[in-house]
């Protein structure tokens, strides 16, 4: 029988986020700098077998129920369906966060391998703004990828939109309308201090209250049960689907967090804003036992803090950007 993996504040951890690569085919300001990114050497990145071993320990010993693959952009990792097949064989839910640019050719293979759910990152519905944000003219590919995800039966398809003041905050209602018309769940995300340029300020955050106010002024909403999800969920009363709002800055959900993160190079992080990593790769590659790996996992989770300290005087911004940590 699995033992619960509990931190010092009584939170049970059952959700693993794995960054399978630090690389991406876009240059989004939020994730990575336009120039000067130093990619990890291929030998530094965990193999599929190493990832599967760590995941198996978390599932079998600690009852983990879901794994989400992130990046960078996970679909640029060669043979990704093979990794999904290995993880799905553990009997857990396997999800993916992607920019959707490769889904027209990969969606069916991913589902056949055992993919259960998908989140697609998209911060604008305007093609010219998309180019400005990503430095790539691939908006049509992303739209086709979203349609491909729906066509192979992934349901719901969730769209992650980071809302940034003065950049895309004029699209909140447009996103909601688009989601209603196309059967998509839009998840609006407050802008967090993890941008690669290091230019985040509190003034750039479009808050939970602002987002909710704009949408509820147009359509009547009612709240849904949240659970451990990072998003507060709302249903359209007229049956038009649902939305979510991830208020990481103004109304953090740290009290319900059940996640740990494994970076592409095998560092375990107990929080998105953690200043420390626990090195699992070294133990795996030096012949360490499953018990050795488990001890490091328990140490990392035991050291998890009560919550991040954004907007507090003692908050220290992590040195790594989102592409290096994983979502």
Supply angle C-alpha 191, 228, 60, rounded to 5: 120
CATH code for the domain of 140: 3.20.20.70
Contact 45, 78 (CB under 8 A): no
Query: Is residue 67 helix, strand or coil?
Result: strand
Taken in order 206, 210, 215, 220, the sign of the CA dihedral is positive
Number of structural domains (the chain) is 1
What pLDDT, on a 0 to 100 scale, did the predictor assign at position 39?
Answer: 73
What pLDDT, on a 0 to 100 scale, did the predictor assign at position 40?
Answer: 83
Tens-place pLDDT, residues 83-129: 999 999 999 999 999 999 999 999 999 999 999 999 999 999 999 99
Distance CA(21)–CA(79), nearest Å, equals: 12
Model confidence, pTM:
0.92
Tens-place pLDDT, residues 4-16: 999 999 999 999 9
What pLDDT, on a 0 to 100 scale, did the predictor assign at position 37?
Answer: 61
Tens-place pLDDT, residues 161-205: 999 999 999 999 999 999 999 999 999 999 886 555 556 577 889
Domain that holds residue 159: 5-325
pLDDT band at 236 (very low <50, low <70, confident <90, very high): very high
- Containing 296, the helix (H) or strand (E) segment is helix 290-302
Is it the case that residue 311 has pLDDT exceeding 60? no
Q: What are phi and psi of 159, to 5 degrees?
A: -110, 120
Distance CA(37)–CA(110), nearest Å, equals: 28
Is it the case that residue 32 has pLDDT exceeding 70? no
Tens-place pLDDT, residues 64-85: 999 999 999 999 999 999 999 9
Is it the case that residue 281 has pLDDT exceeding 90? yes
pLDDT band at 313 (very low <50, low <70, confident <90, very high): very low
């Amino acid at each position: 029988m699995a033992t619960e993996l509990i931190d010092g504040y009584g939170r049970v951890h059952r959700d693993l986020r794995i960054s399978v690569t630090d690389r991406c085919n876009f240059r989004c300001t939020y994730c990575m700098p336009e120039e000067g990114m130093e990619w990890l050497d291929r030998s530094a990145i965990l193999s599929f077998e190493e990832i599967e071993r760590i995941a198996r320990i978390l599932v079998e010993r600690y009852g983990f129920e879901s794994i989400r693959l992130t990046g960078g952009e996970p679909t640029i990792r060669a043979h990704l369906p093979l990794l999904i097949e290995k993880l799905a064989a553990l009997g857990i839910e396997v999800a993916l966060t992607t920019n959707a640019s490769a889904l027209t050719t990969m969606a069916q293979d991913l589902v056949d391998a055992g993919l259960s759910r998908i989140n697609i990152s998209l911060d604008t519905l305007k093609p010219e703004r998309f180019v400005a944000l990503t430095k790539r003219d691939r908006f049509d590919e992303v739209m086709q990828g979203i349609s491909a995800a729906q066509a192979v039966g992934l349901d719901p398809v969730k769209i992650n939109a980071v809302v940034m003041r003065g950049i895309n905050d004029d699209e909140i209602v447009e996103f909601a309308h688009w989601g209603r018309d196309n059967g998509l769940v839009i998840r609006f995300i407050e802008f967090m201090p993890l941008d690669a340029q290091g230019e985040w300020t509190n003034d750039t955050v479009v808050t939970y209250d602002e987002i909710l106010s704009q949408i509820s002024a147009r359509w009547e909403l009612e709240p849904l049960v949240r659970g451990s999800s990072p998003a507060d969920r709302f249903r359209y009363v007229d049956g038009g689907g649902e939305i979510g709002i991830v208020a990481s800055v103004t109304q953090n959900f740290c009290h319900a967090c059940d996640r740990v993160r494994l970076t592409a190079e095998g560092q375990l992080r107990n929080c998105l804003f953690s200043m420390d990593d626990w090195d699992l790769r070294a133990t795996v590659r030096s012949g360490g036992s499953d018990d050795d790996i488990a001890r490091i996992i328990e140490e990392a989770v035991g050291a998890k803090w009560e919550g991040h300290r954004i907007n507090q005087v003692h908050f220290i911004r992590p040195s790594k950007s989102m592409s290096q940590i994983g979502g």
